[in-house]
Amino acid sequence: MSEECSDFIDNRAKLLVRPPSSLEVKITKHLIERFYQRKARDYKRIDLTLIRNVVYNVLRDGKYYATTSTVIVYHPTYTLIGCFDRDQMVLKTIIKTSELEEKLRKFMSKSYRVKWRNIIILTPKFK
């Protein structure tokens, strides 16, 4: 399966209908590349565990805003952008919240919290 989302899935409906029990998240290679470019501070060592922890914290503590094509998760440090692919949320990119464009920043006031009981993060396999 590719890293892009398949078929048409209304992300707003998927986020609203989905019970807040468990969220399965797939991190793309593109997100990992963008994290290296847009890191918010100097980390001593950047590895997959650090990226997983950052993504987990943003998903746990962030506020969600969903359109028909994307899901945006706002956090004071980072903003994640992705979409739902069947029952998985595919995270496509990461941006520092301080560097957000105005068109993305205007949705922050309409975002809301989702309390997930369990967040499962799947990482890509590197060769």
Give 8's pLDDT tier (boundaries 50, 70, 90).
low
Q: What is the pLDDT of residue 12?
A: 78
Give Cβ neighbours of residue 101 (< 8 Å, ≥ 6 apart): none
* The CA-based dihedral angle spanning residues 59, 46, 37, 91, taken in that order and rounded to the nearest 10 degrees: -30
Structural domains in the chain plus CATH codes? 11-122 (3.30.2310)
Q: What is the pLDDT of residue 39?
A: 84
Give 90's pLDDT tier (boundaries 50, 70, 90).
very high
Q: Any bridge partners for residue 19, and if so which?
A: none
DSSP at 9: -
Q: What is the pLDDT of residue 50?
A: 92
pLDDT above 70 covers a percentage of the chain that reads 89
Q: Kindly report the average pLDDT of the chain as a whole number.
A: 87
Q: With a cut of 70, say whether residue 52 has pLDDT above it.
A: yes
SS3 116: coil
Q: Among all chains, which residue has been given the structure tokens 């941006």?
A: 95
Q: What is the pTM of this model?
A: 0.85
